Amino acid sequence: MKLGKIFLGLALSFLLTACSTTKGNEITNNLTTSFNTTTTIEKNVYINNFSSDIKTTGVVNPCMGFYRTRYLNLKRSGVEVDDDFEENGFYHLRVDISDFSSATNNEADYEITDDALEKLETYLYYANNKRCSIIIRFAYDEYKGKENMEPSIPMMVKHIEKLSSVINQYKDLLVAIECGLIGPWGEMHTSVLSIQSTYNVLLEAWLNNVETLPILSRKPVFVYEYLGYNYSNLDTFILDETNNRLGVFNDGYYGTIVDSGTYESLDARIKETNFLGKLITPFGGEVIGEPTNLFTIDEVLAEMDLVGLSYLNLEWDDNLVNSWRDKEYNGQSFYDYMVNHMGFKLYVESIATEYKLGVLKIDVNLANMGFNNIYEELTVDLYIKTSNGLIHTYKKINDNDLKVSLEAVTDDSNVELYISIKDNALREYELMNGKYSNGKNYLGDLVIE
């Protein structure tokens, strides 16, 4: 949670008044809040049945949290692809394109064929139909950890151009692209081509050919050197519209005190995580060691908040990640705490209403308790259920504008208040408070006296 949102462990209080009274409810997660309405002339309004407690069971929203892996092997002649996605699943899609490299096929470097593009499109179509969320990476080593399997750099650029034609069709399905391509598993190391000049070419190609999506590199240094900065002047970096699509995936997360080479030293970790804190793209990867063996829990969570931790691999190391289910933190398992803070997590901070001259006015203020900014384009529908049907409004929100308002003419003495949150792929989001069912967040009944 950046840009002025809640900092982890910070106790907040939100106070509203209803009918000249004040009511406070202590809730979990060290957040204190009370909900009511502010009323003026003619009729008082107050809210019933609002569940203000911040949820401590895992709230699994799209585009964030713990992912599972899927593999797709593209061939020049195409391959048969199966729909092996679960409804609303979150996946890291690892696409092997080794058949297009002479290092594997022992013939020549080939451009991506139409048959291969068709199969990629079919696979993404399956995922899109089930409203999945996908992070995608391409590699040339068959995902077997082999070195120096890449084609020439110009051919890799041509591959990016062809693959982008399909990616752009499904940009709402995709959360981010990991630059990949170089080295074992596409992790951008252990190759004769794993040098900054190569990464500069590949990053430029992804940015020029892919529309809007974040492009993530393996290390912070790959990003800031591409942008023309170096370690000595990194603190002068300013985020703007020319560089706001770049970010980092960290597949050595907490493997060592420098994340298995993600950072060069402890001092570099401090300086480069401050740089990452200025970015607005998803940040994630694979945890390969217990974080609290290296740092205190407060240091770990503070850094996760700083870098905007958004996703982790559930399957590597699954024993480590699953062990978090048995560890308690802040009134819940540490695993659920992570689920409830990775990415962005919205909750209702306050509700204000008034009823005047037959018009009911409602202001719902949302807030973000997640580690990261809102990196998906979200539309909020605010609506009330009256005796004459639904009255609603909608609005696109971002980190700087989380207030949604509705005015309705009604003679009802009791109306139900709901919020629905969706992104461009029509994936639905659950609030961290209120009651959630079938894509709707029930905020309570407004009683008009």
Task: Check whether residue 326 and residue 357 sit in a common domain.
Answer: no
The answer to the question of residue 7 being in a domain is no
Two structure tokens written together for 72: 């797709």
pLDDT band at 41; cut points 50, 70, 90: low
Report the sign of the C-alpha dihedral through residues 323, 326, 329, 334, in that order.
positive
> Does 197 have pLDDT greater than 70?
yes
- Total tally of structural domains belonging to the chain: 2
The answer to the question of residue 1 being in a domain is no
What pLDDT, on the 0 to 100 scale, is given for residue 71? 97
Cα 172 to Cα 425: distance, rounded to the nearest angstrom: 5
The answer to the question of residue 84 being in a domain is yes
Domain boundary among 339, 356, 380: 339
What pLDDT, on the 0 to 100 scale, is given for residue 405? 98
- For 121, which DSSP code? H
The answer to the question of residue 2 being in a domain is no
- For 255, which DSSP code? S
* Residue-wise pLDDT tens digits, 363-420: 999 999 999 999 999 999 999 999 999 999 999 999 999 999 999 999 999 999 999 9
pLDDT band at 11; cut points 50, 70, 90: very low
* Residue-wise pLDDT tens digits, 47-82: 999 999 999 999 999 999 999 999 999 999 987 899
Q: Supply the CATH number for residue 362's domain.
A: 2.60.40
Two structure tokens written together for 378: 């979200």
Domain boundary among 339, 364, 390: 339
3-state secondary structure of 247: strand
> Does 24 have pLDDT greater than 90?
no
pLDDT band at 216; cut points 50, 70, 90: very high
Percent of the residues in the chain that have a pLDDT greater than 70, as a whole number: 91
- For 238, which DSSP code? -
Task: Check whether residue 236 and residue 155 sit in a common domain.
Answer: yes
| Mean pLDDT, all residues of the chain | 91
> Does 15 have pLDDT greater than 50?
no
Task: Check whether residue 53 and residue 176 sit in a common domain.
Answer: no
> Does 6 have pLDDT greater than 90?
no
What pLDDT, on the 0 to 100 scale, is given for residue 2? 53
Task: Check whether residue 127 and residue 244 sit in a common domain.
Answer: yes
Task: Check whether residue 305 and residue 442 sit in a common domain.
Answer: no
Q: Containing domain of residue 334, as a range?
A: 65-339
The answer to the question of residue 400 being in a domain is yes
What pLDDT, on the 0 to 100 scale, is given for residue 20? 29
Neighbours of 389 (CB within 10 A): 9
What pLDDT, on the 0 to 100 scale, is given for residue 9? 33
Domain boundary among 316, 339, 362: 339
Q: For the residues 294-321, what does the mean pLDDT come to?
A: 96
Task: Check whether residue 217 and residue 110 sit in a common domain.
Answer: yes
Task: Check whether residue 215 and residue 105 sit in a common domain.
Answer: yes
Task: Check whether residue 162 and residue 279 sit in a common domain.
Answer: yes
CA 362 vs. chain centroid, Å, equals 29
Task: Check whether residue 362 and residue 441 sit in a common domain.
Answer: yes
Q: For the residues 208-216, what does the mean pLDDT come to?
A: 98
Largest CA distance in the chain: 83
> Does 324 have pLDDT greater than 50?
yes
The answer to the question of residue 393 being in a domain is yes
Q: Supply the CATH number for residue 253's domain.
A: 3.20.20
Cα 433 to Cα 110: distance, rounded to the nearest angstrom: 52
The answer to the question of residue 4 being in a domain is no
| CB within 8 Å of 296: residues ≥ 6 apart | none
Task: Check whether residue 182 and residue 117 sit in a common domain.
Answer: yes
What pLDDT, on the 0 to 100 scale, is given for residue 17? 30
* Residue-wise pLDDT tens digits, 233-276: 999 999 999 999 999 999 999 999 999 999 999 999 999 999 99
Cα 308 to Cα 273: distance, rounded to the nearest angstrom: 10
The answer to the question of residue 331 being in a domain is yes
Q: With contact defined as beta carbons under 8 Å apart, do 63 and 343 qualify?
A: yes
Percent of the residues in the chain that have a pLDDT greater than 90, as a whole number: 89
What pLDDT, on the 0 to 100 scale, is given for residue 80? 87
> Does 3 have pLDDT greater than 70?
no
What pLDDT, on the 0 to 100 scale, is given for residue 79? 78
Q: With contact defined as beta carbons under 8 Å apart, do 95 and 120 qualify?
A: yes
Task: Check whether residue 262 and residue 317 sit in a common domain.
Answer: yes
**At 410, which amino acid appears?**
T
Task: Check whether residue 293 and residue 170 sit in a common domain.
Answer: yes
